[in-house]
Homo-oligomer: A and B are copies of this chain.
Amino acid sequence: MTVHNEIDIAEVVRRSGVPISTLHVWERHNLITPTGRSGLRRQYEDGILQRIAAIVLLQRGGFSLAEIADLLNNGMPGDDKTRIATKLVELHRRQDELTAAITGLEHALSCQQPSLMACPTFQTMLDDALPIKPT
């Protein structure tokens, strides 16, 4: 039989790095639930740390708090998989956008021009980032 240790909210903050104000918000959105209280202080089952890691990963994946609550609280039915597949398309696009932004900024660092907009190399990268439609 596995022993489930209860851990204090202070320890959750310390070990996860997630600030207490964020934990309060997540609780209001039904993402996390304390198992009880010690006086006023929230106590959690130690599995909360894995759950928090999952929330962080899904948030980086661009899911809203409401979507994450859905994914974690309900099982993983077929339409969840559809939503994940849709998100993945968007994530690959964001990866490309991020790469373009990095390329542009790295050039800006080495550029001798007096301002960003005066740099011809930066200019040519812009159209790549946000395609301007013809007149």
Residues of A with Cβ closer than 8 Å to B? 11, 14-17, 49-54, 56-58, 60-61, 71-72, 74-76, 81, 84-85, 87-88, 91-92, 94-95, 97-102, 104-106, 108-109, 111, 113-117, 122-123, 125-127, 129-130, 132-135
A99-B95 in contact given A16-B132, A133-B14, A135-B15 (Cβ < 8 Å): yes
Contact between B84 and A92 (Cβ–Cβ < 8 Å)?
A: no
**Interface residue SS majority, chain A:** helix
A70 and B81 CA atoms in complex are apart in Å by: 43
Instruction: Indicate if the CB atoms of B91 and A105 lie closer than 8 Å.
Output: yes
Note all chain B residues with C-beta closer than 8 A to A123.
50
- Complex-state Cα separation, A106 to B51, whole angstroms: 18
17 chain-A/chain-B pairs, Cβ below 8 angstroms: A14-B133, A16-B130, A50-B117, A50-B123, A51-B117, A53-B126, A54-B122, A58-B101, A61-B105, A72-B115, A74-B115, A76-B115, A76-B116, A88-B102, A91-B101, A92-B102, A95-B99
